[in-house]
Amino acid sequence: MSYSVGQVSGFAGITVRTLHHYDKAGLLSPSDRSPAGYRLYSDTDLARLQQILFYRELGFPLDEIATILEDPQANALDHLRARHRLLNDQITKLQRLVEVAEHAMEVQQTGVELTPEERFEVFGEVAFDLTYATQAHLKWQHHEGHQRSMARAAAHSKEDWAKIMAESADWRVRLLAAFDAGEPADGTPAMDLAEEHRQHVARWFTPCPTDMHGRIADDFATDPRAFALLVPPTEQRPGLAPYLRTAVHANAVRQSPPHGG
């Protein structure tokens, strides 16, 4: 069987121009001619084209494909192994780029409008994992409270963030001191710290009623990424997140008005 350039183009899913290019490059030339003088591809030509397209799909340059096909001593397996290594290297590099892009999206979605240098200066270790903030944004983006919080965060200046982080650091020192001293989670010192955190959220981000504060504390206890935004991993203690959650819920009970009688 013999096939015209147009037929082969349709079979192979490539353009006529590509076939002409392969012909001009000496990679694949039609071996038959029609009675009218038109060049035609044979079944052998099609088998060669299939090999060419296979190697092209793997990213081989045309000159290397020509070497593989023309040199009977060429070891196609060696070429494939080299290409495999190269593709794996490219995958690794692309994965790093994906991670960089994902981190950039996370930063944008937190609403914190700072340069990378300012972000490191202000947040330090806390800035290294913002995946929780991103997921929280995607989960709650249509809720009014979250929208208000994001708008407030975006409006904060570098100086505002420095104050926020300083307040947080001071509060964290006192939380760790209470925990290390064995203060009960439902005792007054721990509940006072919980209330202070609730007021901090309300002051800098969004009104934070006790039920909302309880949901935040539940996240602290169940998602390490959430708690890491409050207490960096290097400062954490086993049981500290559940301790804070208990203090927050105990404070919510304390803040509830007594039932009338």
The answer as to whether 55 is a domain residue is yes
Say whether both 131 and 238 belong to one domain: yes
Q: Mean pLDDT over residues 248-253, rounded?
A: 95
Q: Give 207-237 pLDDT, tens digit per residue.
A: 888 998 998 899 889 988 888 888 888 889 9
pLDDT of 28: 92
Which residue, of 54, 83, 109, is where some domain finishes?
109
pLDDT of 127: 45
Q: In one letter, which amino acid is 18? A: T
Q: In one letter, which amino acid is 41? A: Y
Number of domains into which the chain is organized: 3
- How far is Cα 250 from Cα 198, in angstroms, rounded to an integer? 13
3-state secondary structure 92-138: HHHHHHHHHHHHHHHHHHCCCCCCHHHHHHHHHHHHHCCHHHHHHHH
Say whether both 236 and 130 belong to one domain: yes
pLDDT of 92: 81
- Strand residue runs (E) in 4-130: 32-33, 39-42
pTM summary value: 0.49
Say whether both 163 and 243 belong to one domain: yes
The answer as to whether 219 is a domain residue is yes
The answer as to whether 259 is a domain residue is no
Domain housing 33 = 1-68
- How far is Cα 240 from Cα 242, in angstroms, rounded to an integer? 6
Say whether both 116 and 144 belong to one domain: yes
Task: State percent of the chain over pLDDT 70.
Answer: 75
Which residue, of 68, 99, 125, is where some domain finishes?
68
What is the band of 136 on the pLDDT scale with cuts at 50, 70, 90? low
* CATH code of 19's domain: 1.10.1660.10
Q: Average pLDDT over the chain, rounded to whole?
A: 80
How many residues are given for the chain?
261
The answer as to whether 207 is a domain residue is yes
Say whether both 42 and 149 belong to one domain: no
pLDDT of 72: 60
What is the band of 111 on the pLDDT scale with cuts at 50, 70, 90? low
Say whether both 7 and 85 belong to one domain: no
User: With 60 as the cut, is the pLDDT of residue 116 above it?
Assistant: no
pLDDT of 130: 47
What is the band of 137 on the pLDDT scale with cuts at 50, 70, 90? low
Q: Give 13-49 pLDDT, tens digit per residue.
A: 889 999 999 999 889 999 888 888 888 999 899 988 9
The answer as to whether 261 is a domain residue is no
**Cβ atoms of 205 and 149 closer than 8 Å:** yes
Say whether both 9 and 46 belong to one domain: yes
- How far is Cα 85 from Cα 94, in angstroms, rounded to an integer? 14
**Cβ atoms of 122 and 113 closer than 8 Å:** no
* CATH code of 200's domain: 1.10.490.50
User: With 70 as the cut, is the pLDDT of residue 117 above it?
Assistant: no
- How far is Cα 200 from Cα 192, in angstroms, rounded to an integer? 12
Say whether both 155 and 180 belong to one domain: yes
User: With 50 as the cut, is the pLDDT of residue 128 above it?
Assistant: no
In this predicted structure, which of 50-54, 56-60, 115-119, 255-259 has the lowest mean pLDDT? 115-119
Classify residue 259 by its DSSP letter: P
Q: Give 52-94 pLDDT, tens digit per residue.
A: 998 888 888 888 888 888 876 667 777 788 888 888 887 887 7
Radius of gyration of the chain (CA): 32
Say whether both 78 and 58 belong to one domain: no
Say whether both 81 and 144 belong to one domain: no
**Cβ atoms of 214 and 252 closer than 8 Å:** yes
Q: What percent of the chain is helix, strand and coil (3-state, nearest 5)? A: 70, 5, 25
Instruction: Please compute, for residue 190, the number of CA atoms within 13 A of its CA located in the half-sphere on the CB side.
Output: 23
**Cβ atoms of 23 and 30 closer than 8 Å:** yes
Q: Give 157-213 pLDDT, tens digit per residue.
A: 778 878 888 898 899 999 999 999 999 999 999 999 999 999 998 888 888 889 989
The answer as to whether 235 is a domain residue is yes
The answer as to whether 225 is a domain residue is yes
The answer as to whether 260 is a domain residue is no
Classify residue 260 by its DSSP letter: P
Choose among 176, 184, 155: nearest CA to 246.
184
Say whether both 11 and 52 belong to one domain: yes
pLDDT of 149: 62
The string over 105-129, giving b where at least 16 C-beta atoms fall within 10 Å of a residue's C-beta and e elsewhere, is: ebbebbbbbbeeeebeebbeebbeb
Say whether both 247 and 138 belong to one domain: yes
